[in-house]
Structures are given as C-alpha cells and as structure tokens.
Amino acid sequence: MKKSRGALVLILCLALLVCTSIFGMKIIKGTAASTTSSGDAMKLGLGLDLAGGVSITYEVVGETPTAEQLSDTVYKLQQRVTTASDGSITEAQVYSEGGNRITVDIPGGSSALFEELEKPGKLEFRDANGETQFTGDDIANASATTQQNQTTGAVENIVVLTLTEEAAERFYTFTSAHVGEVLAIYYNDEELSAPTIKAAISGGEAVISGMEDKKAAENLASFIRIGTIDLELKELRSQEVSATLGGSALSNSIKAAGIGLLLVMLFMIVMYLVPGFAAAVGLAIYTGLTMLALKAFGITLTLPGIAGIILSMGMAVDANVVVFARIREEIASGKSVITSMKSGYKKALSAVLDGNITTLIAAVVLGVFGSGTVKGFAYTFGIGIVVSMFTALVVVKFLMQALYALGLQDAKFYGQQKERKTIDFLSKKYIFIAIAVLVIAIAGIVMGINRGNGNRELNYSLDFVGGTSITADFGKDYTQEEIENTIVPVITDVIGKSAVQSQRVSGTNEIVLKTNMLTEDQRQAVKSAIIEKLNVDPATIEFETISEIVSSEMRSDALKAVAIALVLMLIYIWFRFKDFRFSASAILALVHDVLIVLASYAIVRVAVGNTFIAVMLTIVGYSINATIVIFDRIRENLAGSKSRDPERLAEIVNRSITQTLSRSINTSLTTFIMVFFLFIMGVTSIREFALPLMVGIVAGAYSSVCLTGALWYLMKAKKNN
C-alpha cells in the first residue's frame, strides 16, 4: 500500500470511527436517559427487565377454561406478540393468573401490540364455497411490506404470509387446483380480504397484494398474526409497571460494559502494540455499528440481549488475537512485516470463518425456532457476529496496512512470537478428564442432596415454575431500590430466601410483588407482616396464583432450537474438517461446559430464571469458537503427514494447543473482564446472570485447552490401533 493510499485509508477509518461513535453514543445515552419515553428517536427499545412497560390483564368470557385451554392460549399469545405490526422485535411476557385470567406485559407499552390483542378470535381462509381450508394455526408469520409492481413499476403495499412447514405442502396442493378462484380471509366471521389465487404457490410463502395503503396492510397483517385463539377474552385492567431489574440496572450495565470495553482496548494495545491499537479502533467501531444495527432492526434490548452483545464482542477480540498471533509467528520465521500481515490473515482466515460461521448457524437456528428471550439473544448475537467479522477482517486489516504505509514498519511495533517449548498436555489427559467428571459428579450429588432435603434440584424461580403475585397499596411512591431494601426483606423474613420480583405501578402507590408459590398459611403470614410492619391497608392486598413465564412450550422450543443448532454445527465441523472425530470432540466439550455451568447453579443455588437459557446459549457459542481455533491448528499441523503413530499424533496435538495457548488465555481474559464488571457493578439479578457466565468462560477455556484435543486424540489413536 502506497503512503498516499495509506493516508486515505486512515482518514476513512477515523471518519468511520467518529461517525459510528457519535451515533452509537447518542443511542446509548438516549437509551439510558429515556427508558420510559417513546419520543426519543435515538434510543433502543428496552425490555421489561430494563425499562418496564404496560401490563394488561384479560379475563376469559364465559365458562372457566381448562388448564390446557388456558396454557394453549398463553402460548399462542406469546408467539403473536414476539413481533409487532410495526416490525419491531419485542420481548413481551404472557402468563396466566388464577384459573381464568391472562396477563400480557409489554415493554414500553406498545399500542400496536395492544390493538392486536384486543380482538383475539378465529382466523379462517375460506374457498369460493365458503368452506374453511386453512386457519390461523397454519400461519407462522405475517408482515406488511412493499414491492414494485412488475407491470406498472409502481410501489404497492402488500402482506407477506409465511406458512408453517406442515401447511406449506397443503397450501401448494390447494392453490394448484384453484388458480383464478378467491381464497377469502375471515376473522370471527367477518371478511377481512378476498384475494384471488393468481398461480400455484410453493415454498411456504404467499403475497397478498391490492392493499389500499400501508395502514390497511399493517391491519391485515396484525389480524393474521393473532391467528386462531379459542378463548374469548375481555380486558379487565391495564397498568404501567417499572423495570423488573430496577431503575439502576441499565445505567449500571452500561457503565460496566464501558469500563470493561476500555480495559479490553487497553489490554490489546499493551499486548499487541500497533495491531492492538488497530483492534481497539475496530472494537470502538464495532460498538457503534452494533448500536446502529440494533436500532435499524428494531431490536428490543434485554439482559439476554446484552449477553449476546458481550459474547460477540469477545469473538471480535478473538478474531484479532488469532490473526495477531499468526503475524507474530510469521515475523519470527524471518518474513518482513508486510508479508507477515498478508500471510497471517491468510492462515488465520479459516479458523476465524469457521468459528464465526458455526456460531452464526446457532444464532440463526435459535432466532427461527426459539421464542421469548431465546429470540432476543439470537438477534443481538447474530448481529454482533456479522459486525465483528466486518470490523476484524476488514477495518482492522486495512487500518494496520495504512499504519504500516505511513511509517510504522519496524517489526518491534508488531511483536515477534518467542520460541515456546511444547507443553505435554496429553500426558495429563486422564487427570483433566477425571477433574471434569469429578466436578460434574459433585454437582449431581449436590442436586440429590437438595432433592433429599425437600428442595428442588435447582433453585427454580417463578419464571420456570410459576408462583404467587402480591399486589397492595403501600401508601407512598417507593423507588425500586427502596422496595428491594425495605419491602422485600419483610416478605423474605416470612417465606425464606426465595427470590422476589417487584414492579411499581406507575401513577399509583401500588406495588406488584411476585415470588414462588405460597401456601395459604404463608399468604396469611405475609399479609399480616406487611400490615404490621409497613402499615398497609388490608383492603388493598390481593393474592393471585400466576403461571410460569417461560412456559413448557417455550422450554420445548428452546430445547428443539438448541438440538437443531448442535446437529447443524456438528455437520458443519464434520464437513469442514473431514473428520467426524473433530465434531464429536467439540460436542462433548460443549456438553461438559453446559454441565459445569449447571453445576454452578446447583452448588451456589443461583436462581434459575429467565436468563438461564441465555447463559447456556452464551456458553455454547463461546466454547465452540475456542475449540475450532485449536482444531484448525491441528488440521494445519496434520497436513501432509501420513503418520498414524500415536506418539506423532500426540506431538501434533500438544504443539497445536501450545501454539494457540496465548489466544485461549487472552480471549478468555478479555471476555471475562467484560462479564466481571457486570458482576461487581450490577444489581442482584444481573449478578445472578454474570456469576454462572464467568464460570462458563472458565469452563470453556478449560475444555478447549485440556479436553478437546485429548478427546480427539483418544478417538483417533483408538482407530489407528
């Protein structure tokens, strides 16, 4: 690169840094300062845990429904409120109260979602004879958008229908036989639209054209998304509620992330000099671009979403560390700095791409098949992966070349890999495996003891098992911090150390407290305690049994999504490395990491709540990336070697792990730093999220360095024998 071109590239990189930083900071400041205002354009939508929203309770009209009917309706409503008619991604929560009520908590109080829920009923697609051919259960999604008319060139409003996998084939068969006929859409026997079938529709996606305007398209899409809900509901009450994590949770999380990011940037500069400076600039650009992308896609940010950002940030650092280590190795071999840069990026590319593509597969699958917080995690994680690949492989690369062209050409500015004696990791392989098995076994014993003492194996919160809601007028407007320090202790003194979630009802002195299921005696004891110690009017106290927020169907969706993701990741690794043993070793390592994190939940009794799934998903994505870096080096060192000698294989594995050891340590350290500051600066719920995440980072580093290579070697050597 010529000096003039280097100057131009540097100016462009700095301009990108300034622009993304300005808009990114505006979004961050707007989000932090305006958590309940919808008028600030430069802010992200925030979930109930970070900003609160509006809670609306519906009552079933008519006879009391069965538990199955109520559960089915809760699940369908949860599926429908995932995406609002304006296209934004929400993190609404739906759960039942008592035997005939359903409550929907919506972040920010989206009026569009309320309009969609006000008329739940029955959606039908009827043929020309009036017979029902399809129902709302056959529709996976509906969205309003635009397209250009192929004949007139005009832009027209349309509704795009996505059918379920099961209905797609039936839809194709029906439309093939009824081209030219009407397939009318009815909602509660009222005709909404009467589109004509113009051609056989395959692929599971259909387009309804002829909409009058954008509003008409959005209204039709809203009704279709609601689909078929068997129970008739009427609104009982609605109220504004505050953030479940407290007002300081968001600001503390932003401060912690900011401090962690600055320390990581400083660490990169100290460790890698000029490349580290380029990486620091890349991380700053990554942060700004990620904020802009989240805003552009209308993502609602929650605590699991923050986990996705932290993980993708760790992967952005990882890509840089892998490349920089390669550059130092090339310089140590006697090559020039510029040649080492080119060769370093070339040799590191496969590891970076394989690691990111594998985790991107997981993000896409979780986004498609998951629900609730799983989707929130998947969206932010997926966006972060794409942005991190761009900054690591494009921005940082060109910035390094520009700095070199402008005079920073001495090898001392880039570092040189010192000769490192190969560490014999495999000689301790059985010890490493025994340690892993022992920790997992201890967790199993602890879970058994918990069960034997009359407790659950894990400390499930009401997110997973349901519980009791306590609503009362406490006589004054408590802050969230005052609630946690004054009111919650009164309740926990009666019921023990069970977790208590609290929300303020805006504009009133009412507070909603949710905890695990209380017996009738416990309810009376709690009532007496808050009357005596907090001077609450007994007439304002109300108890309700509420269902779990993470329903059995949502858990099933999460397990299905994770299973599919693991299978696809296994297939991809198998395809890329041409050896099933690499895939098997990687999956076994993932199982180890998940079990170790599960052990931390069991031993420390951290509450297993809404963030539990996000923690597990974070560990899966983090661990697989670290494993692939080591496997990529084993594959490289094996290239051209036809030796099947176990000693030769052991030497290759040991050398590969040693060569990537600095990467394993540095990436784990930088990611740990980010989460550690969340832990020390966060509120209780955030600490419960950060603690197992730190355990998972350590477990992921351990399995990558100490287990995966050993497992691959044992399977490989066994075959050769």
Q: List, for residues 626-645, the tens digit of each pLDDT value.
A: 788 888 888 888 876 666 67
Count Cβ atoms within 10 A of the Cβ of residue 497 and give its class: 0-12 exposed, 13-18 middle, 19 or more buried: exposed
Residues with Cβ within 8 Å of 536's Cβ and at least 6 positions away in sequence, in order, are: 472, 473, 474, 475, 530
19: left (phi over 0), alpha (psi -120 to 50) or beta: alpha
Which segments of 189-302 does DSSP mark as H helices, in order? 214-226, 248-296
In Å, how far from its chain's centre is CA 168?
29
Q: What per-residue confidence (pLDDT) applies to 274? A: 92
What's the mean pLDDT in 702-708?
91
Residues with Cβ within 8 Å of 461's Cβ and at least 6 positions away in sequence, in order, are: 499, 501, 516, 607, 608, 609, 610
Residues with Cβ within 8 Å of 229's Cβ and at least 6 positions away in sequence, in order, are: 73, 76, 77, 120, 121, 122, 136
- The DSSP H or E segment spanning 144 is strand 139-148
Most confident of 266-280, 404-418, 560-574: 266-280
At 372, is the pLDDT very low, low, confident or very high (cuts 50, 70, 90)?
A: low
Residues 627 and 707: their CA atoms lie apart, in Å, by 10
Most confident of 149-158, 326-335, 551-560: 326-335
Most confident of 3-7, 90-94, 150-154, 270-274: 270-274
At 146, is the pLDDT very low, low, confident or very high (cuts 50, 70, 90)?
A: confident
Look at 530 and 373; give whichever has higher pLDDT.
Answer: 530
At 430, is the pLDDT very low, low, confident or very high (cuts 50, 70, 90)?
A: very high
| Spatial CA neighbour of 59 closest among 114, 97, 112 | 97
Asked if residue 89 has pLDDT above 60, the reply is no
Options 1.10.150.20, 1.20.58.100, 1.10.3720.10, 1.20.1640.10; which CATH number does 248-441+551-720 get?
1.20.1640.10
What's the mean pLDDT in 11-23?
88
Residues 291 and 312: their CA atoms lie apart, in Å, by 13
Asked if residue 434 has pLDDT above 90, the reply is yes
Options 3.30.450.20, 3.30.1360.200, 3.40.50.300, 3.50.50.60; which CATH number does 57-241 get?
3.30.1360.200
Q: What per-residue confidence (pLDDT) applies to 243? A: 67
What's the mean pLDDT in 245-273?
80
Q: What per-residue confidence (pLDDT) applies to 40? A: 53
Asked if residue 117 has pLDDT above 70, the reply is no
Q: What per-residue confidence (pLDDT) applies to 39? A: 47
At 36, is the pLDDT very low, low, confident or very high (cuts 50, 70, 90)?
A: very low
Percent of the chain that is helix, strand, coil (3-state, to 5)? 60, 15, 25
Which segments of 155-247 does DSSP mark as H helices, in order? 165-177, 214-226
Residues 508 and 474: their CA atoms lie apart, in Å, by 9
Residues 619 and 611: their CA atoms lie apart, in Å, by 13
What's the mean pLDDT in 102-116?
65
What's the mean pLDDT in 380-397?
88
Look at 269 and 258; give whichever has higher pLDDT.
Answer: 269
Asked if residue 570 has pLDDT above 90, the reply is no
| Spatial CA neighbour of 361 closest among 557, 569, 560, 625 | 569
Pairing, β 542-546 against β 467-473: antiparallel
Look at 228 and 600; give whichever has higher pLDDT.
Answer: 600
> In the sheet where 184-187 sits, what is the strand order?
132-135, 123-126, 184-187, 190-193
Look at 359 and 644; give whichever has higher pLDDT.
Answer: 359
Asked if residue 408 has pLDDT above 80, the reply is yes
Q: What per-residue confidence (pLDDT) applies to 34? A: 54
- Residues 332-341 have pLDDT tens digits of 888 999 999 9
Q: What per-residue confidence (pLDDT) applies to 171? A: 92
Which tokens in the block code for residue 186? 């009815």
What's the mean pLDDT in 194-217?
87
Look at 506 and 37; give whichever has higher pLDDT.
Answer: 506
What's the mean pLDDT in 596-612?
82
| Spatial CA neighbour of 470 closest among 407, 527, 389 | 527
Q: What per-residue confidence (pLDDT) applies to 245? A: 65
What's the mean pLDDT in 157-161?
89
Angle 248-296/3-33 helices, nearest 10 degrees?
130
- SS (HEC) of 71-96: HHHHHHHHHHCCECCCCCECCCEEEE
Which residue has tokens 């035997």?
Answer: 99
Which residue has tokens 């099961």?
Answer: 166
End-to-end CA distance of the chain: 52
What's the mean pLDDT in 288-292?
89
Look at 149 and 230; give whichever has higher pLDDT.
Answer: 149
Q: What per-residue confidence (pLDDT) applies to 357? A: 87
Cβ atoms of residues 405 and 562 within 8 Å: no
Which tokens in the block code for residue 7? 């100057």
Q: What per-residue confidence (pLDDT) applies to 636? A: 86
Asked if residue 85 has pLDDT above 50, the reply is no
Asked if residue 37 has pLDDT above 60, the reply is no
Options 3.30.499.10, 3.20.20.70, 3.40.50.720, 3.30.70.260; which CATH number does 467-546 get?
3.30.70.260
Q: What per-residue confidence (pLDDT) applies to 515? A: 84
C-alpha distances (whole Å) from 223 to each of 85, 112, 140, 488 are 10, 12, 13, 41
Return contacts of 560-563, CB within 8 angstroms, 24+ apart: 560/369, 561/365, 561/366, 561/368, 561/369, 561/370, 561/374, 562/366, 562/616, 562/617, 562/620
DSSP code of 475? S
Pairing, β 101-107 against β 53-60: antiparallel
Q: Which range among 18-22, 291-295, 515-519, 549-553 shows the weakest confidence by mean pLDDT? A: 549-553
Share of the chain above pLDDT 90, in %: 15
- Residues 129-145 have pLDDT tens digits of 889 999 888 888 888 88
Cβ atoms of residues 194 and 135 within 8 Å: no
Q: What per-residue confidence (pLDDT) applies to 275? A: 92
Residues 28 and 202: their CA atoms lie apart, in Å, by 43
| Spatial CA neighbour of 47 closest among 364, 377, 466, 366 | 377
Which residue has tokens 């109930």?
Answer: 48
What's the mean pLDDT in 289-315?
77
Mean pLDDT value across the chain: 82
Residues 76 and 687: their CA atoms lie apart, in Å, by 32
DSSP code of 481? H
**Domain positions in the chain:** 57-241, 248-441+551-720, 467-546
Share of the chain above pLDDT 70, in %: 88
Look at 496 and 157; give whichever has higher pLDDT.
Answer: 157
Q: What per-residue confidence (pLDDT) applies to 339? A: 92
Cβ atoms of residues 679 and 245 within 8 Å: no
Q: What per-residue confidence (pLDDT) applies to 642? A: 64
Residues with Cβ within 8 Å of 703's Cβ and at least 6 positions away in sequence, in order, are: 436, 589, 592, 593, 623, 627
